[in-house]
Amino acid sequence: MQGIERGLRVLEAVAEHQPVGVGELSRTLGLPKSTVQRTLLGLSNAGWIRSDGSEYTRWKLTSRALAVGRRGWDKGDLRGVALEPMRELRDLTNETITLQVRDGAERTVQIERMDSQQAVRTYIKLGSSWQLPHTSGGLAIMSRLPDDEVDRLLASPIEKLTPQTDTDPDSIRRKLEDIREVGYAVSINQNRMGVCAIGAAVLGDDGGPIGGVGISMPESRFDEQRVPWWGKQVKATAQIIESLV
């Protein structure tokens, strides 16, 4: 059982940081390099990861791992039904549109992206994972959770990804109150410097959040005066996706 758990931890770390080497994985996971190396070779032999062919071996997921992941993401065909509404929102805003779902209790994972057609645009790898407070979609999801679940989430330390990442539970609770009032969340330099986003939660039949859709843009194009308009559009897109799931 311990070996299975360690293998899954290594696989998740490869997915989050790919392409990634043994040394970085060892530091990230707090495991000896020899243990990480053996686990990587086992995952490679089983077809879950592969070397990227560089001089200093770095590892990335194979199509097998990505296919299994997508089957897990497509519960209720959320990704499939979201594609056209996301495309329409991309064409309307000419910014990158993202779709996230919850990844366990405390994180989100990006399962789809519709790229802006502008030369300067944000880029977020599919499979990227963050704690819920790190993204506009994650904050929007949190705003639709029961208070006791929010308390549990905020009891865990929040990683400071940039100098502007908000890690204060009381500050985040105040943000959630504002999000509940307006129906969308705003993220400025929270998970990457120079990246801003406006996101809304996608709700399931029971009224609980099943995902988050966001408009992502470089900070150079972010305009506070346009936030209400962006918020209106991303809320409308989330509601369209809800009606199709």
Give the pLDDT of residue 58: 87
Does the pLDDT at position 245 exceed 80?
no
Give the pLDDT of residue 160: 95
pLDDT tens by residue, 12-62? 888 888 888 888 888 888 999 899 899 988 888 888 888 877 767 888 887
When pLDDT is cut at 50, 70 and 90, the band that residue 112 belongs to is very high
* DSSP string of 4-23, one letter each residue: HHHHHHHHHHHHHH-SB-HH
Average pLDDT, the chain: 89
- Per-residue CA distances from 89 to 133, 166, 231 (Å): 23, 28, 11
Among 38-52, 68-82, 231-245, where is mean pLDDT lowest?
Answer: 68-82
Q: Terminus-to-terminus CA distance in the chain, angstroms?
A: 36
Q: pTM of the predicted model, to two decimals?
A: 0.71
- The 8-class DSSP code of residue 20 comes to B
Structural domains in the chain, CATH included, are: 2-68 (1.10.10.10), 74-244 (3.30.450.40)
